[in-house]
Structure 1
Amino acid sequence: MHDPYSDRMSGSETRAAGGLALVFAFRMLGMFMVLPVLATYGQDLAGATPALIGLAIGAYGLTQAVLQIPFGIISDRIGRLPVIYIGLLIFAAGSVLAANGDSIWGVIAGRVLQGAGAISAAVMALLSDLTREQHRTKAMAAIGMSIGLSFAVAMVVGPLLTRAFGLSGLFWVTAAMAIVGILIIAFIVPRADVRLQHRESGVAKQALGATLRNGQLLRLDFGILALHAVLMSSFVALPLALVERAGLPKEEHWWVYLTALLIGFFAMVPFIIYAEKKRKMKRVLLGAISVLLICELFFWLFGSSLTALVVGTVVFFTAFNLLEASMPSLISKVSPAGGKGTAMGVYSTSQFLGAAVGGILGGWFYQHGGLATVFIGCAVLCAIWLAFAVTMREPPYVTSLRLPLSPDAAADAGLAERLLAVPGVADAMVVVEEAAAYVKVDTEQLDRTSLERLVDPAPRRAEA
């Protein structure tokens, strides 16, 4: 039996984190691979118009946004695995429907059904069930990295697969990935002994009202909505700009995205480090939004050559990657103790809603005003976001912790007040039903000894 306080992840925890990260990656890969190709290859579908192609690009976000939180709540009642299996089967069915669709409406219906397999919350809850407190952040970071990596891979692999097998073949590959995800859950991911009610990784209905009234969180929710709306609208316009303005055949677009993503990934790293180390996250956020705004204006005014479009795309993805990577950290910092899971649920819903809005508006703008109107629309949305972001406060530089309580500590009615008195503790909440305390701490000021003594007054084990 492994030591419950070991600093190393156990074999089952490693399998859980790796397996669930792969499930996430395969599913998101299937979602993202159509982005760089649907605007160009979708024109060959019966009944296709730019507005309907935009709807097909963003359609998955509609059902994903509506069903994500309900699926998470259902998984608390009937179990994680049934929800995940059902969600992956729905996703596979949507992919098959899109693969067999010979009109744009068939692809739209498939994308809507793909989004209905909204398993994100259930997967994160299962990860919490399968990992110990001290390793949960690492395990969740692995899933975050898998999502980022799947997006990068999708931008390159999507055009290559479509060139080889057509749009229908791309959706068949997506369906196969969903089946592989089911096999990973069945044969690699361990079974959970307990089902945790965990406020750091799941939505707590009691915290929903306070989350929706929190102005700082709402600014970030609008931000991620705007970011993904701009991304989807840009992917209605950029592939078409590469063909119409730069004369680059659609079969060759993969190298543009590969170049942009590779340079963009490495270019964002110094800014992430600066934001965290120097505690200047607001400054970096405002800078990245401003760069995104400038990119859209650049595409509008100067994006008429291949060189200009490639340079603009590289800078665009640098800003996009920086925002995509840093905003979940801001949600974690700004959310109250015990409210991180709920805040992330609303944030993710906003993200998918943004994807839907962006695809729909991007297609509509292109149909009625051409490429210039899409880029101007994106620039206006970035400007509105910047105006909201300027008014946000510098976030507190704190880390969220969930501390299991000893029976004596859980019975202590004044524990929350005593936790708040510990140097470095910015916020605290005790949930008696979970026998757990949620605290927000500044790690540079925290008195760890005092904190540990409060949550477990008796020594946990003899010192060597």
Structure 2
Amino acid sequence: MQPSEKMTPLEMRTTVSLALVFALRMFGMFSILPVLAIHAQSLPGGSMPLLVGIALGIDGLAQAVLQIPFGLLSDRYGRKRMIYIGLALFALGSFIAAGAHDIYMIILGRLVQGTGAVAAAIIALLADLTREEHRSKSMAVIGMSIGVTFGASMALGPALNHYIGVSGIFALTGVLALGAIFVIRFVVPTPQISRQHADAGTVPSQILGVLKNTELQRLDFGIFSLHAAMRGLFVVVPLLLLNVGPLPVNEHWKVYLPVMAISFFAVVPAIIIAETRGKMKPVFCSAVGLLTIATLLMAMMVNNFYGIVAALFLFFLAFNLLEATLPSLISKIAPAGSKGTAIGVYNSFQFLGLFLGGTIGGFLAQHASHAAVFAFSSGLCLAWLLLALSMEKPPAVRTRMYHVGYALDEQKARALSEQLSALNGVNEAVVIADEGVAYLKVSMGDWDEARARELIEKGE
């Protein structure tokens, strides 16, 4: 019996509603980026770029520390319970920041926001409610929702600042987080059984092995550098646009909207070429090189409004392409049964990059110059480029997951793994008895799927 090629109504409802939860949570976090540095100038302590950088990045520190524990606690205490707690903390932090009268309270509010590190728990909930063969589609929808939300937030942040101010944006963020709780409670289905999923959650016993994988280390350093550069950028770019450009802050959307929209759609052909023609490494390395050039241009153009805008476009062209290709590379490189752990470690480095990017960017802006912030980012990107050029060519594979149609013990799981690994076009196969799931890495060309399905569904 072949599994349905279409998602069920429950799977569609789960995917759309959890994508909405991510969007509601992320909108407030992203929309504050283009306006916080400007708003901070009017607050006690806000004229110190170091404190502004800490305010911009402190949520990343909390998420780096807590996102894996939140996911593991959701295995034990329930997905929805941990998500409620996380969203409530996020809302609390938003309201603290909304009522802040100095930069220190904004830092506190942003820190509390970061303690609501629910991303891993939400992905685990998604895994509980979707079948293995459709999970990658659901993940793609959520990834797309985050990307669209990021672009929309960049454009809408300055406009919202004009009408409701930064305090209003923080308050709106808190309200949206409470709305996300409503969606989780009344729209997202409740799973009958919650269990650990090797493709979507972190397995503690696998963390050391993932950290030792040199190819994954390159990608972890990459996502760290990418988000450090992005968060450092927002310490100074809003001020540069205001100080050297013709636009008041409420019209900065005229910069961010075309930059984000054009760069978002412009990367689609490159993504298609990378994935379908086996050109992932050259496309990836080109994007890292472009990121290096963009940050160098920013360092050179700090007094030129149009130069800053052009460099900003190149930066987000590279940023959007890398945001799309890095998760794909993780999937291709990570061992078949360790994908979820690899993504968990990768996300932790991403959040750590947000914190250190904001903090170091603020320190350099305060004690050196605005150009020094971009020079630091360029140095990170150059180091990443050297690592990317020396990485092995990513295998032309894709991951497939199947529910095993008969009872398994460890011996049967090992035997099935060996049978699947021997099939034509199967590069790697891991069967996990506790999950009753087979994880396969298969050639992007032909592979013996019919025989694989036969073994997985019925055995011999």
Per-residue CA deviation, residues 334-389 of structure 1 (Å, 9 max, x unaligned), is 00011110000001111010000100011111111221111111111111111221
Partner residue, 1:339: 338
* RMSD value, Cα: 1.5
Per-residue CA deviation, residues 430-456 of structure 1 (Å, 9 max, x unaligned), is 212222222111131311111112212
Is 1:419 aligned with 2:420? yes
**Mapping of 1:170-189 within 5 angstroms?**
170-189=169-188
Partner residue, 2:353: 354
**Mapping of 1:287-302 within 5 angstroms?**
287-302=286-301
Cα separation, 1, equivalents of 2:366 and 2:106: 19
Is 1:52 aligned with 2:57? no
Amino acid at match of 2:44: A
TM-score, normalised relative to structure 1: 0.96
Amino acid at match of 1:80: R
TM-score, normalised relative to structure 2: 0.96
> Do the aligned partners of 1:58 and 1:356 also contact (CA within 8 Å) in 2?
yes
Amino acid at match of 1:456: E
Is 1:148 aligned with 2:140? no
> Do the aligned partners of 2:61 and 2:352 also contact (CA within 8 Å) in 1?
yes
Q: Which moved more, 1:408-417 or 1:180-189?
A: 408-417
Cα separation, 2, equivalents of 1:384 and 1:99: 38
Partner residue, 2:4: 6
Partner residue, 1:444: 445
Partner residue, 2:92: 93
Is 1:455 aligned with 2:456? yes
Is 1:304 aligned with 2:293? no
Cα separation, 2, equivalents of 1:82 and 1:418: 40
Per-residue CA deviation, residues 76-127 of structure 1 (Å, 9 max, x unaligned), is 0111000000000000000011011100000000000000000011100100
Identity rate, percent: 46
Cα separation, 1, equivalents of 2:5 and 2:417: 27
Q: Could you say if the C-alpha distance between residues 377 and 349 of structure 1 is closer, same or farther in structure 2, counting changes exceeding 3 Å?
A: same
Amino acid at match of 2:455: L
Residue 441 of structure 2 aligns to a residue in which SS?
Answer: strand
> Do the aligned partners of 2:336 and 2:428 also contact (CA within 8 Å) in 1?
yes
Q: Which moved more, 1:187-196 or 1:341-350?
A: 187-196
Cα separation, 2, equivalents of 1:64 and 1:86: 14
> Do the aligned partners of 1:404 and 1:436 also contact (CA within 8 Å) in 2?
yes
Measured after TM superposition, the shift of residue 417 of structure 1 is 1.5
Partner residue, 1:21: 19
Partner residue, 1:462: none
> Do the aligned partners of 1:409 and 1:415 also contact (CA within 8 Å) in 2?
no
Measured after TM superposition, the shift of residue 128 of structure 1 is 0.8
Which stretches of structure 1, 4 residues or longer, exceed 6 Å deviation after superposition? none
Measured after TM superposition, the shift of residue 303 of structure 1 is 4.2
Cα separation, 2, equivalents of 1:142 and 1:230: 26
Cα separation, 2, equivalents of 1:297 and 1:9: 46
Partner residue, 2:390: 391
Residue 427 of structure 1 aligns to a residue in which SS?
Answer: strand
Cα separation, 1, equivalents of 2:423 and 2:415: 13
Partner residue, 1:314: 313
Q: Which moved more, 1:408-417 or 1:131-140?
A: 408-417
> Do the aligned partners of 2:31 and 2:157 also contact (CA within 8 Å) in 1?
yes
> Do the aligned partners of 2:406 and 2:458 also contact (CA within 8 Å) in 1?
no
Paired residue total: 457
Amino acid at match of 1:354: G
Residue 386 of structure 2 aligns to a residue in which SS?
Answer: helix
> Do the aligned partners of 1:16 and 1:189 also contact (CA within 8 Å) in 2?
yes
Amino acid at match of 1:26: L
Measured after TM superposition, the shift of residue 25 of structure 1 is 0.8
Measured after TM superposition, the shift of residue 194 of structure 1 is 1.5
Cα separation, 2, equivalents of 1:172 and 1:179: 11
Cα separation, 2, equivalents of 1:416 and 1:139: 26
Partner residue, 2:434: 433
Amino acid at match of 1:438: Y
Residue 439 of structure 2 aligns to a residue in which SS?
Answer: strand
Structure 1: which 5+ runs fail to align? 460-464
Per-residue CA deviation, residues 116-163 of structure 1 (Å, 9 max, x unaligned), is 000011100100111112221111111111111111111011111111
Cα separation, 1, equivalents of 2:116 and 2:168: 21
Cα separation, 1, equivalents of 2:373 and 2:248: 21
Measured after TM superposition, the shift of residue 306 of structure 1 is 2.5
Partner residue, 2:403: 404
Cα separation, 2, equivalents of 1:353 and 1:75: 22
> Do the aligned partners of 1:248 and 1:306 also contact (CA within 8 Å) in 2?
no
> Do the aligned partners of 1:60 and 1:116 also contact (CA within 8 Å) in 2?
yes
Cα separation, 1, equivalents of 2:36 and 2:264: 24
Amino acid at match of 1:348: N
Residue 369 of structure 2 aligns to a residue in which SS?
Answer: helix
Is 1:133 aligned with 2:126? no
Cα separation, 1, equivalents of 2:403 and 2:18: 24
Amino acid at match of 1:318: L
Amino acid at match of 1:32: F
Measured after TM superposition, the shift of residue 424 of structure 1 is 1.0
Cα separation, 2, equivalents of 1:89 and 1:180: 10
Amino acid at match of 1:252: E
